[in-house]
Amino acid sequence: MADYTRMSVEELQAEQDLLRAEYQKFKNMGLSLNMDRGKPCPEQLDLSKEMLKMDNYIGENGVDARNYGLLEGMPEARRFFAELLGTTPEEVLVCGNSSLSMMYYLIDLGWRQGFVDSPRAWRHNNSIKFLCPVPGYDRHFRVTEYFGFQMINIPMTPSGPDMDMVEEWVRSDESVKGIWCVPVYSNPDGYVYSDETVRRLAQMTTAAPDFKIFWDDAYVVHHLTDEQVEIPNILDECKVAGHPDRPLMFCSTSKITYPGAGVAAMGASLRNIHHIAKNMVPMIISYDKMNQLRHVQFLKNKEGVLEHMKKHRAILQPKFDLVKDTFKNELEPCGKIARWTNPKGGYFISLYVMQGCAKRVAQLCSDCGLSLTGAGASYPYGLDSRDSHLRIAPTYPKLDELGTAAQLLCICVRLATVEKLLQRAES
Amino acid sequence: MADYTRMSVEELQAEQDLLRAEYQKFKNMGLSLNMDRGKPCPEQLDLSKEMLKMDNYIGENGVDARNYGLLEGMPEARRFFAELLGTTPEEVLVCGNSSLSMMYYLIDLGWRQGFVDSPRAWRHNNSIKFLCPVPGYDRHFRVTEYFGFQMINIPMTPSGPDMDMVEEWVRSDESVKGIWCVPVYSNPDGYVYSDETVRRLAQMTTAAPDFKIFWDDAYVVHHLTDEQVEIPNILDECKVAGHPDRPLMFCSTSKITYPGAGVAAMGASLRNIHHIAKNMVPMIISYDKMNQLRHVQFLKNKEGVLEHMKKHRAILQPKFDLVKDTFKNELEPCGKIARWTNPKGGYFISLYVMQGCAKRVAQLCSDCGLSLTGAGASYPYGLDSRDSHLRIAPTYPKLDELGTAAQLLCICVRLATVEKLLQRAES
């Protein structure tokens, strides 16, 4: 292998022949591999087996979790999530198994009804804009797209979204009503917002009086190194800055216990919590409090969660290392044809390939039985204008399958790059 | 005791003194009794204890219920609810723990987006009307009130809503977009829709092309007698009548296993199901499939459910009998001062007191430590124009407490009646 960017056309053609032969070997293996979604593997799910043996469903307040009531959640569950979110228990609502559906509900609430600080429901505005740090989480973008909001790309940096751009947008345009944030181990880069980013988000002046930060703390305890990254608390910072009603914080146990049957919670100012709970009354009598109790009895508190997360790390860290090592060994010798992130936690690695190659890489992988998240999926409307980004999800496959997948992926990256360089040489 | 309606003023005054003394005795007891909501008692909840020992979470299709996926529900759960709802599994979506939140979601969907047969989203209409059989379920009415729909009272009869009135409204007014129905053991009367009612609902001509029947089959297997009442299937009838997209059917295990942690499902035409599932995609990745699997493994099928419901009946029937016997013994001798329903299933008895007395009865009970559902709650906007109806929920209190509660209730009915008759005599 040598630096592709310095190869002659003849050398590139020879390399292309070699890579095609390599690729064909993988094709002959009849693979069926999936690096598509951020999905825990079965061994991770087994870590929570003990939780299912729980059989006391009376809460500390004497409330029978089996029966109706307590829309806000069991008190011990509110306390548990308050510790994770860094709020008081009264600033927490504990809901069902899906934090996504809580975010959806709050977008819906803002649009349909408005928030405590809204002059009117968002739907009465001619247009609504949302700031979308990119690359970001496709399901966030899908919610705002579904509600017809215009999505504004904000480039991500290793310290968070480009804050100069964020500040300019929110200052100058009152139709900008919110921003999507995954502040710790961002999806998909694995970046962590800096203290300065958090404070600027809290302090910035917004033209919209009801600007909302959707603070999706999905990976708040999902460390992959000894460093347990923590950042300033957005609700605290917003209170200090005089904007207590600005942040809506979310977290869940989806990637602590069970993705399909975890517990999700939100944190916000008391005024927000009262407004939201009041509006939820017509919708539901109470969420699944048995599952809330099950979780608190099993995980106990933040310390218990962090202990539990070490077991996840033991399974996941080798997978992340394997992928990064393969990238290093297979891609670095080819010159600057790709770069990738090196997350200290979370569920993803971002792989940035040469401009105009991402879709081709995903197609080559798919044709060979390896599913990746669709190229462009991490951008609003699925549009990665550089066609460069791929979201790599190393958690689900078994280690040996993952090795094969990473090898194949590198072959595809190299092949797509050579094809692109040959195209350029021709034109 | 004698017929109050034939008493002289002096006799009424003497009776009032007696009743006040009786009432004071209850007051001295310092009671705290609750007949407020249709809530199963702890003994009923204990019936499902075995369900919690389940520990296989791999579905029949090999899907791991613990992980993400399968928005429509586990296949065995769809089959289970299809049998309860009388549909095919493909015509079913199995969701979370709350059928109310599914109904809310569908009202929201119609309003925000419209249904497959909607010319446009309901919110673009100047006004939306919903037909509300009265008395009915307060939480149904709250959803439509929350969305600003105008609610039209339709009197209930022992064979269902007054169908002449229903047909006239839907035929003549295209802003009438739906009707709330609890077809079997209606809340709160315990009435069962007749075959004719079901067929007229299916066949009637509606001015709105997207008229929807919200068919809340909350008590479909909640029998209190040997007679397992069944009625024609609304989806079948609507298909035959050429209106397959008219009904949206709901049921749940809230009053089969756990009110706070059951499983809810909906049934509808394939066209409706596809439309609804497609719109749910931005909202949620999947519902709690572990709880779905737990339920199916425990209850197995409709036959299993019916066996399980016999255990509920053994607990509930004596409670219903006690209340009705107390009414008979304590109220009948006083003349036609009250009437009550005699449900063969469900969770409620309707008690109709003399016009203008219901609020006073509820107040007298409350002052003595007995909570009833607020008088008027079973009517849209809480307005019972006759102030006559009380919803009696006998399920939650222990049998001895229930006896005390029923006795007290009868004293309060009699006292309120005597007060009213004396007022009338004065004026």
- Please check the confidence at residue A1 and state whether its pLDDT lies above 80: no
Using CB atoms and an 8 Å cut-off, which of residues 236-275 of chain A contact chain B? 258-261
Q: Taking residues A395-424, what's their average pLDDT?
A: 97
SS3 A216: strand
Nearest CA to B298 out of B266, B267, B261 is that of B261
DSSP state of A89: G
Residue keyed to tokens 């100058």:
A172
* Predicted pLDDT at A53: 87
The last residue of one of the domains, among A244, A274, A306, is: A306
The answer to whether A64 and A374 have CB atoms below 8 angstroms apart is no
Over residues A42-52, mean pLDDT: 96
The answer to whether residues A25 and A75 belong to one domain is no
CA distance A420 to A406: 21
- For residue A156, name the pLDDT band (cuts at 50, 70, 90): very high
Q: Are residues A113 and A221 in the same domain?
A: yes
Domain-embedded: residue B110:
yes
A230 token code pair: 């923590």
Mark whether B302 and B318 lie in a shared domain: no
B15–chain A nearest CA distance, Å: 41
- Check if B291 contacts A (Cβ < 8 Å): yes
Q: Mark which of B278, B306, B334 sits at the end of a domain.
A: B306
Are residue B391 and residue B366 in the same domain, yes or no? yes
Name the residue among A67, A142, A284 with its Cβ closest to that of B98.
Answer: A284
| Any domain includes B50 | no
Contacts with A168 (C-beta within 8 Å, 6 or more apart), sequence order: none
Nearest Cα of chain B lies from the Cα of A356 at a distance, in angstroms, of: 28
Q: How far apart are CA B362 and CA A373, in angstroms?
A: 60
Query: What does each C-alpha distance from A78 to A70, A81, A382 come to in angstroms?
Result: 11, 5, 36
Instruction: Tell me which chain A residues have a C-beta less than 8 angstroms from the C-beta of B282.
Output: 104, 139, 142-143, 145-146
B56 part of a folded domain: no
Q: What is the rounded average pLDDT of the residues A237-250?
A: 98
Three-state SS at A401 = helix
Q: Are residues B288 and B221 in the same domain?
A: yes
Pairwise CB contact (< 8 Å): B289 & A96: no
pLDDT in tens, B344-360: 999 999 999 999 999 99
pLDDT band at A418 (very low <50, low <70, confident <90, very high): very high
**Cβ contact A95:B98 at 8 Å:** no
Amino acid at A184: V
Same-domain pairing of A128 and A267 = yes
pLDDT value at position A181? 98
Q: Å from B27 to nearest chain A CA?
A: 26
The domain boundary, picked from B271, B306, B341, lies at B306
Q: What is the CATH number of the domain that holds B162?
A: 3.40.640.10
User: Do residues A290 and A63 lie in contact, with contact meaning Cβ atoms separated by under 8 Å?
Assistant: no
Q: List chain B residues with pLDDT less than 50.
A: none
Q: What is the pLDDT of residue A403?
A: 97
Number of domains in chain B: 2
CATH of the domain at B38: 3.90.1150.10
Q: Which residues in chain B have their CB less than 8 angstroms from residue A64's CB?
A: 42, 45
In angstroms, the CA B150 to CA B165 distance is 16
What does the DSSP assignment read for B334-388? G-SSEEE---SBSS-EEEEESTT-HHHHHHHHHHTTEEEPPTTTTSGGG--TT--
With a CB-CB cutoff of 8 Å, which residues 119-148 of chain A face chain B? 139, 142-143, 145-146
pLDDT band at A420 (very low <50, low <70, confident <90, very high): very high
Residue B270, in any domain of the structure: yes
Other beta carbons within 10 Å of B31: 15
Report the Cα A323 to chain-centroid distance in Å.
Answer: 19
Question: Is B285 in contact with A104 (Cβ distance < 8 A)?
Answer: no
Q: Is the pTM of this model over 0.80?
A: yes
* Interface with B, mutate which of A255, A280, A288 (most B CBs under 10 A): A288
Residues B213 and B173 in one domain: yes
Q: Given CB atoms, is B20 within the 8 Å cutoff of chain A?
A: no
Same domain, B294 and B318: no
Angstroms from B275 CA to nearest CA on chain A: 14
Give the lowest-confidence range in A29-38, A84-93, A212-221, B279-288.
A29-38
Same domain, A299 and A398: no
Residue B37 has what pLDDT?
Answer: 84
**Domain co-membership, A85 together with A222:** yes
| CA A322 centroid distance within chain | 21
Is the pLDDT assigned to residue A313 strictly greater than 70? yes
Q: Could you tell me if residue B14 is inside a domain?
A: yes
Read out DSSP for B393-408? Answer: --SSS-HHHHHHHHHH
pLDDT tens digits for A251-278? 999 999 999 999 999 999 999 999 999 9
Instruction: Clarify whether residues B386 and B268 are in a common domain.
Output: no
Judge: A260–B40 Cβ closer than 8 Å, yes or no: no
In angstroms, the CA A172 to CA B426 distance is: 71
A66 vs B: CB within 8 A: yes
Asked whether A127 and A176 are in contact (CB, 8 A), the reply is no
Q: Is residue B53 part of a domain?
A: no
pLDDT-derived band of residue A36, with 50, 70 and 90 as boundaries? confident
B21 in reach of chain A (CB within 8 A): no
Rounded to 10 degrees, the C-alpha dihedral A390/A396/A398/A403 comes to 10
A159 shares its domain with A75: yes
CB A410 within 8 A of CB A330: yes
Tokens of B301: 């099928």
CA dihedral over B317, B256, B362, B355, signed as positive or negative: negative
Residue B59 belongs to a domain? no
In a domain? residue B361: yes
Single-letter code of the amino acid located at B131: L
List the domain range (segments joined by +) for residue A159. Answer: 51-306
Question: Tokens representing A132?
Answer: 């979308």
Mutate to test the interface with A, among B46, B67, B263 (most CBs of A within 10 A): B67
Task: Give the C-alpha distances (Å, rounded to integers) separating B128 from A1, A15, A122, B114, B211.
Answer: 70, 68, 21, 12, 11
Question: B139, A282: Cβ pair inside 8 Å?
Answer: yes
End-to-end CA distance of chain B: 25
